[in-house]
A and B are shown apart, each in its own frame.
Chain A
Amino acid sequence: MAFNSIEFLIFLPTVYLLYRLLNLRMQNMMLLAASYLFYGWWDERFLFLIVLSTAIDFSSGIMIDEGKLTRLDRAKASAWTLLSAIAFLGINWQAPDWASKFQNFVGWQYCGYVLLLVIAGNALYPLLSKLPEHRRRGVFLFISMAANLGLLGFFKYCNFFIDSAESVITSMGMHATDFRLDIVLPVGISFYTFQTMSYTIDIYRGHLKPTHRFLDFALFVSFFPQLVAGPIERATHLLPSILHERRIDWEQSSRGCFLILMGLFKKIGVADSVAIAVNSVYLTQGDVTQLDIIVATVLFAIQIYCDFSGYSDIARGCSKIMGIELMTNFKLPYVSRTPSEFWTRWHISLSSWLRDYLYIPLGGNRGNKFMVYRNLSLTMLLGGLWHGAAWNFVLWGAYQGAILCIYRLLGIGVRRAGQEEIGITIKQRILGMLNMIFFFGVTCYGWLLFRAVSFEQIVGFTGQLLTDFGASSMHLTMRKPTLAGMLGVLVLIVYELTEYNLKDTCFYKRFPVPIRAGLYALMIFIIFMGTSNAPVQFIYFQF
């Protein structure tokens, strides 16, 4: 189910009404059921993967910290795994009648494998629980990592590596057998596997105590607002909100509703409205001019920001009206002046995840310059690969790593989101703005790598940008964004510049009611205008 669908328009108010009627325990159970329904709307089979990941991390977390699972804990994890295998793999919900729903031979075969897995897990438990503490902790951390990365690797990267190996073999003049597997990528797998991995790592590091409440933990893994496209929450942040009584007040509800409105405005009013123009350049096989490439890439920068931050806003808004705070994922990224600042403003939940669980363990800023550059490059390369199993994402990651290293090498100052600019001169302010514009250009080239549909397109477009300066290059042949898109971009720029200058995310609350209502009405009007665009799936669903 997508946030911009009619189904969600019915789903969210229903969930919210039920939520307000129930007590904490029932609220959590209802939210878990709603989250599974939300995810299963795409493909119920993949719910099994979520439950499997939940069961493994629930057990691993307790084993790492406490060294033993109670019978009840083991029974809970085993029963949920088996029941989910029967419900989501054994029964074919797409079949037309009840008899054929159960005639699913392949599905029942998988259920058999799951049964064997559960039996093996329970049989090995006495052995593993007797291991010395340091070994036991390492073994269960390994099990959690292997399971999550294994799922991610198989479903997301298997065909990518097979294809790449085939290309290498073919380029060496040898014959490669077509070995491609028919694998469907489960929506949001990169998000929830990273989230659950952080849970076990934090327990291993002693930053967190494991929970014995299986259903609450399952809700942490599958909480529907952020399940398929983040923010990637940490257990230290989200789990307490799930375990404890939540308080909802008017201010929170009003901010939540505003975030939902802002998210829909960004997605429907802006992102989907400029997508038509971007696609007319990136998906054409005909000729495009240099100006087409520049305009389409700038528009893509706006599209991907509005698409992804719009999703995060809606996720935060839905969560907030239920009294659960999700982390801020975007903080005006395009005002950044350096790459390190950019990564404190863009997809913050991923960049902080990579920092805490990859960059710092690799050595972080410690060691000599070469080691720091290596750590930065490697982290960004893997960050690029996280986005998708394609070489352009790897290239985009490498590019991000390279610009981080270059800026660091040149000693260009590090500024972070929220850093105050007090007492600066007009000259410094102008220089800062020029830096901002220059770095926006640098960022946009990264988006060209990200959006390109082939390596040939990257080479072709880059060549045109660098060499094509004839009079004809300045003609615009691409499709124009819709009226909603142009109006939406204008409103968004004014809104974000005001937020930046006032340094207040809730600045609109300072306005008198009629002005504030005017802003809301304008956003609603642009959403209505945008609804006539063909709905585009959220870009980050594919990751």
Chain B
Amino acid sequence: MPPSNSSTSNSNLTPKAPEVSPVEAAKGGVKASKSAPIRAAWLMLWVLIWLLVMDIGINVLFPYPKAPDAKPSRLQQYFEYGRSTEGKIRYMVGDTNANTASVSLAGWMDDGKTRPTTAANPDGTLIAVYGQSFTQHACNTWSKQNDSLTMRMILGPGAPLNHSYAMYLEDRDKHDAKVCVLGILASSLPYLDTIAGMTWSFERPYTFMFPRYSVVDGKLNVIDPTIHSMQQFRDTLNDPAKWEKLISHVSEHDAFFDPTTFNACITDQSAIGRMLRRAWGQRHMQAMQAKYHTVDGFNPQTGIIDTARYLVVDWAKKVREDGRLPIVYVINDRGFADHLYQELGDTLKQNNIPFVSTHEYAPTADLANFQSDGHFVHAVDEITAQKFEAIFKASLAQE
């Protein structure tokens, strides 16, 4: 607020002169020069040269290490995020599991891990766990609280319910677990409309694939991913015809597939091209997430809620048929309030399926419940583990 009483108003109704640099003023003000278009073109050419120099400079100074499990610097990572999904997969997946990035192996049954088929302790219990890292953290904490438990984990990074359901069907005859835990992550619910981790994990793609389910006239419709193991995936990747066929299948049946972010092309070689693709990829993911979830909850018109309810009831039925105790872990992660519980809570209660929902003791509004990477802090996992234990004990008491 200037301490002046002077008013700026005047009644001069002629347009004001444009601002002029003192240098130009000294030269006699703004004048349209005949050579102005040529100077502008010259300037544009120089801008393009500079951008080219920067692009090449980034590629030279921050080359991404090609070894699958190499630890790139933050700057190397920064300029690499926008490479196409296919481009990244091609250097993450090697000829064998040994030279394949561990993140690419995750989510496949043939990931090279040895899983227990029976409890380590003769008096103990084997727990079969299907889900993702949230479920892994909670169940690891549970096994620390109760050392008679042995965990058999079939997980995938951010694995959606369709992956976990399919994994149980594939795994049900291979162990003698008494209890089965199914972790359902709120942020992964939209991926029920996908068949591959590659389509929704653009910056660091997961290769694992799984069926897409949908409920049509009360019956479960299944779209098979056509690839069921890491080895099959590897073979397909190295065979151009098979790879093209797979991409065609994914683009037809995966709602999150986006050719701009997926397909490798010349822009992978350009730092600027990669940055722009990263921006595109983020906007694509935001648009897709917005289609499935808003601040008010999940969009029921997409059909994923009906599918999720069907799958969870059917999973519990199959687990019980196998003589096991089903426990559903409802994970309401950051940004999703209690929306997953809102959609599944009644179904779980009506079908008498034991469940633990994090919204009761770790509300998403309280950021103190979360680590910086989005996972729950250990204290939350402790509570989850206690709740699993309480359900397990109650089940034993009933027996």
Contacts and interface: CB of A to CB of B under 8 A. Distances in A.
Given A250-B36, A251-B24, A504-B21, A209 B11 contact: yes
B71 interface: no
B33 interface: yes
Given A320-B18, A528-B272, A532-B81, A521 B2 contact: no
B22 interface: yes
Contacts of A354: 1
B278 A202 contact: no
Interface string B345-379: 00000000000000000000111100010000000
B11 A505 contact: no
Contact of B14 (A244, A404, A520): A244
A251 B32 contact: yes
Instruction: Name, among B18, B24, B43, B365, the residue most crowded by chain A CB atoms within 10 Å (CB to CB).
Output: B18
Contact of A513 (B33, B39, B75): B39
Given A320-B18, A365-B4, A514 B82 contact: no
B290 interface: no
Contacts, number: 171
B169 interface: no
A93 B327 CA distance: 48
A71 interface: no
A76 interface: no
B9 to A, nearest CB: 4
B343 to A, nearest CB: 25
B35 to A, nearest CB: 9
B279 A236 contact: no
Interface string B274-285: 011011001100
Contact of A252 (B18, B40, B49): B18
Given A202-B9, A250-B37, A513-B39, A504 B368 contact: no
B23 interface: yes
A252 B30 contact: yes
Nearest to A512: B46
B75 A532 contact: no
Nearest to A514: B46
A476 interface: no
Given A250-B32, A356-B7, A528-B276, A510 B23 contact: yes
Contact of B9 (A205, A518, A521, A534): A205
Interface string B26-44: 0000111100110110110
A421 interface: no
Interface residues on A, range: 35 or more
Contacts of A206: 11
Contacts of A429: none
Contacts of A518: 46, 50
B3 interface: yes
Interface string B125-168: 00000000000000000000000000000000000000000000
B47 interface: yes
A541 to B, nearest CB: 18
Interface string A17-52: 000000000000000000000000000000000000
Q: Which 7 A-B pairs have the closest CB atoms?
A: A517-B46, A521-B50, A506-B21, A531-B279, A250-B36, A207-B9, A249-B32
Given A208-B9, A356-B7, 17 more contacts: A205-B9, A208-B11, A234-B8, A240-B15, A243-B13, A246-B15, A250-B36, A251-B31, A254-B36, A255-B19, A284-B367, A339-B1, A343-B1, A351-B1, A510-B21, A520-B50, A531-B278
Interface of A: 202, 205-209, 234, 236-237, 239-241, 243-244, 246, 249-252, 254-255, 283-286, 320, 324-325, 328, 339-340, 343-344, 351-352, 354-356, 359-360, 364-366, 376, 379-380, 383, 404, 408, 414, 416, 479, 483, 503-507, 509-510, 513-514, 516-518, 520-522, 524-525, 528-529, 531-532, 534-535
